[in-house]
Amino acid sequence: MSTTPGTDFPLSLNTGTTPRLTLREAVEATAAAGLEQIGVWRHRVEEVGTERAARIITEAGLTVSSLCRGGFLTATGEAERAAALESNRAAIREAAELGTRNLIMVVGGLPSAAHVLGAEGDREDRDLLAARQRVADGIEALVPYAAEHDVCLVLEPLHPMYAAERAVLSTLGQALDLAAPYPARTVGVVVDTFHVWWDPQLQQQVARAGQEGRLASYQVCDFNLPIAADALLSRGMMGDGHVDFATISGWVAEAGYRGPVEVEIFNADIHAQPADRTLATMTERYQRLVLPALRSRAGHPAGVG
């Protein structure tokens, strides 16, 4: 389970929330807002190189809460599968060099939908069970390398509307089942409110994640309606949609999580506004809508009180 020295539940900006900023700009904006944690996306790291990225972050006094992302393990071709594994090994090395244990894993979708994200795939291949098995095989192949670098492969279940093109894992229970054969230090899960708020088994599965020591990350944003034309951009600022943050945050705290809480929002309007406004708003909403439940339930383990 992830823990952070000092204050419990430190707020973290995931750079997916401010995609127009370079890594240095995002780091400067995060530090200026008084935060000490940042979740970074690989393409921003690659623009400056991992060594320089680590230096930029460290010199600003920040800690990396997670690296986004590894995964996409569902390709069928031998060459494509080998390339995916090598990309994930590179991501593991990057996470270690950046000083984070958490590599967020978006596991990939069906070959029939690969073209949606610009990849090649058999448009007739809709075999969901086979795709999930390839994910399991990929995780098995990556676990020894992740363990060698002391990095946790953090499985992220995505909302079912993304099952075709992005993630054949849709529930926290599925992610925990996939993680079960491996040490908790090496394979964990993330609770992202946008993706799992609807799950009728969420309370039980969050408690299970805590009991198994696999609750590695907590990410928050809201579920907005109507769904955007690009469904990826339907996330909202906490309080603008329909997620019950108090309840879910309480479950996360009861499960024993005390680590960083990342705000990761994909929303065209939020992306277009000044970053300082985004950071100010997310800090106020976090302190008002999320943090009180985390703190109030932190002293009440699951099943108590």
pLDDT digits (tens, 9 = 90+) for 213-251: 999 999 999 999 999 999 999 999 999 999 999 999 999
Task: Report the distance separating Cα 24 and Cα 22, nearest Å.
Answer: 5
Q: Is 93 helix (H, G, I), strand (E, B) or coil?
A: helix
Type and span of the H or E element at 174:
helix 172-179
In a domain, 72, yes or no: yes
Ramachandran sector of residue 167 (left: φ over 0; alpha: ψ -120 to 50; beta: rest):
beta
Q: SS3 sequence, 217-261?
A: EEEECEECCCCCCCHHHCEECCCCCCCCHHHHHHHHHHCCCCCCE
Q: Is 11 helix (H, G, I), strand (E, B) or coil?
A: strand
Question: In this predicted model, what pLDDT tens digit does every residue of 26-59 receive, in sequence order?
Answer: 999 999 999 999 999 999 999 999 999 999 999 9
Please say whether the beta carbons of 189 and 175 come within 8 A. Answer: yes
pLDDT surpasses 90 at 1: no
Instruction: Please report, for the domain that includes residue 204, its CATH number.
Output: 3.20.20.150
Task: Report the distance separating Cα 21 and Cα 270, nearest Å.
Answer: 13
pLDDT surpasses 70 at 3: no
Task: Report the distance separating Cα 69 and Cα 102, nearest Å.
Answer: 10
In a domain, 305, yes or no: no
Q: Is 100 helix (H, G, I), strand (E, B) or coil?
A: coil
pLDDT surpasses 90 at 113: no
In a domain, 102, yes or no: yes
Please say whether the beta carbons of 125 and 137 come within 8 A. Answer: no
Please say whether the beta carbons of 16 and 274 come within 8 A. Answer: no
In a domain, 288, yes or no: yes
Type and span of the H or E element at 24:
helix 23-32
In a domain, 34, yes or no: yes
Q: How many domains does the chain have?
A: 1
In a domain, 260, yes or no: yes
* Residue 181 burial (C-beta neighbours within 10 Å; 0-12, 13-18, 19+): exposed
Task: Report the distance separating Cα 88 and Cα 155, nearest Å.
Answer: 13
Record the pTM. 0.94
In a domain, 303, yes or no: no
In a domain, 170, yes or no: yes
* pLDDT reported for residue 51: 98
Task: Report the distance separating Cα 169 and Cα 178, nearest Å.
Answer: 9
Q: What domain range is 292 assigned to?
A: 11-297
Per the DSSP assignment, residues forming a β-bridge with 38 are: 13, 64
